[in-house]
Amino acid sequence: MDPLGARSQFVDIQTLPTWQQLEVDGKHIPQDLSDSLLSQQSFPSPFPFRPDINCKIILFIGDVALLNCTAITNTSNELLNDKNPVSERIHQLAGSELKDELLKLKGCRTGEAKHTKGFNLAARFIIHTVGPKYKAKYRTAAESSLYSCYRNILQLATELSMSSVGLSVLSTAKRGYPLEDATHIAFRTVRRFLEKHGSSIEAVVFAVTETEEAVYRKLLPLYYPRSEEEERLCLPLVPADIGNSEGEPVVPERQIRITEKPGSLEEEDNLESDLGQVGNHAFARMEGDIDKQRKLILQGHMSEAAMQKQHQRNYNRWLCRARAEDLSDIAALKALYQTGVDMCGRTVMVVVGRNIPVTLIDVEKALLYFIHVMDHIAVKEYVMVYFHTLTGEHNHLDTEFLKNLHDIVDIKFKKNLKAFYFVHPTFRSKVSTWFFTTFSISGMKDKVRYLDNLQQLFTCIRPEQIDIPPFVMEYDARVSVRAHTHTHTHTHTHTHAYSPFR
């Protein structure tokens, strides 16, 4: 209890400004977007301006334990005895009774949420949850668990008629979750919950430290734009992977969007027929304009500078659309992802050929996803590793599609790509790639490096710097054993054939 007449240390959330009331400062929105991206074409935002939702959101820089919400959140471990700054502060203010109450809960699994009384806190309840430990190799599992944390907190709050919830940052530094990645999940999960189930919740307070504030303030406008203008300005910055309709990360096994006529995987003729349609996609038709402009250049009707400007505008339209569209189904394939750096410190991007079901996906969306992921990577030098391991005919993108992709992407993609490592190539793929890089794409041929095994790859990229799919490692191990056995047998036979003792 506070001494008589002393000012309470607890914070009345009614005195805090809502997100809608805060002034739009525009500091976190790049100024060059207005001319290059946004003047081209507008696409609906997946997170439109909703003042009714914004009025429920509060950004509080301070101690979550001081909030007088109906409930505040405590982030802990599975035994509910973690010692982190948030948890220790809650225990300090709530009193010793909290510890006794937690013992009765008998722990909490990762992603679950359980509640206790608030005891000496201003909050009536404390919702305890366990955030995941983050490892890049198991990123999908970590994303799903963190989503479950936020979702279960809000679900519990709704079931118990809690009108306000103070959310601490659930991904503690101790558990290694990248703050910005975790914040995206937090914001989109809360937003989707409030849209669909949040009528009884009056306030959600994001309680952050001064260190965390910059990231939260930067990302909030993406999910909670405070005006139609802010929605328009932030649209290009919205991630490609925004989860499903609930904000939940999409698991690869659960969602592959099928096109109207996916074709047959069994008949090669049908496959070729399907792939032949690639050039008829909208992006291919768009590129027809580029071809006409090249013709005009040759005829002296358009300058090279004008051509480059037109190409940039075309690319910007694609980038803007890539930022606006829900590409979760493509992201879930895990066919393209960023890993570590090579021996020269350059970013490594991985493409997994077997994870590209060409006849099952919308290849135009695949193009959008590639542009979305690669745009910020390609601003500096990078390398690509393509695992051709165990690919089938239905995994091979048509050369016309690849040519259109090459023609659409920004010049920085081509300039800053320093090497393309082609792992586990077949003779046929080598021939196809040689023809393609010789006659269709200029400047690419010298960057391609064929690597027959992972040991060759590890001379360029350390093993700990690249996330390799398990099936690739298993295949490489089998091939290496066979190669070793073959060499050993050949040497043994050779020795017997010419032995003077025979």
Q: Band of the pLDDT at 137, cuts 50, 70, 90?
A: confident
Q: Considering the domain 268-481, what is its CATH architecture?
A: 3-Layer(aba) Sandwich (3.40)
Calpha distance 207→11 (Å, rounded): 12
What pLDDT sits at residue 43? 62
Calpha distance 315→371 (Å, rounded): 9
Q: Band of the pLDDT at 363, cuts 50, 70, 90?
A: confident
pLDDT above 60 (res 302): no
Specify the range with the lowest mean pLDDT, choosing from 36-50, 171-185, 246-260, 341-355: 246-260
CATH superfamily of 13-237: Leucine Aminopeptidase, subunit E, domain 1 (3.40.220.10)
Q: Band of the pLDDT at 438, cuts 50, 70, 90?
A: confident
- Name the more confident of 262 and 51: 51
Would you say 105 and 132 are in contact if contact means Cβ atoms under 8 Å apart?
A: no
Domain ranges in the chain are: 13-237, 268-481
What pLDDT sits at residue 140? 83
Give mean pLDDT, residues 427-441.
85
What pLDDT sits at residue 26? 55
Calpha distance 132→110 (Å, rounded): 6
Calpha distance 289→306 (Å, rounded): 13
What pLDDT sits at residue 279? 41
pLDDT above 70 (res 281): no
Name which of 128, 61, 60 is nearest 94 in CA terms. 128
Largest CA distance in the chain: 108
pLDDT above 50 (res 40): no
pLDDT above 60 (res 12): yes
- Name the more confident of 311 and 60: 60
Name which of 191, 184, 181 is nearest 245 in CA terms. 191
* Distance from chain centroid for Cα 405: 21
What pLDDT sits at residue 45? 85
What pLDDT sits at residue 384? 97
Q: Band of the pLDDT at 28, cuts 50, 70, 90?
A: low
Q: Dig out the tokens for 4 from the structure.
A: 């008589």
Calpha distance 329→254 (Å, rounded): 9
What pLDDT sits at residue 37? 47
381-410 pLDDT, tens digit per residue, is: 999 999 999 999 889 888 888 888 888 998
Q: Is 193 exposed, middle or buried (0-12, 13-18, 19+ CB in 10 A)?
A: buried
334-347 pLDDT, tens digit per residue, is: 999 999 899 999 99
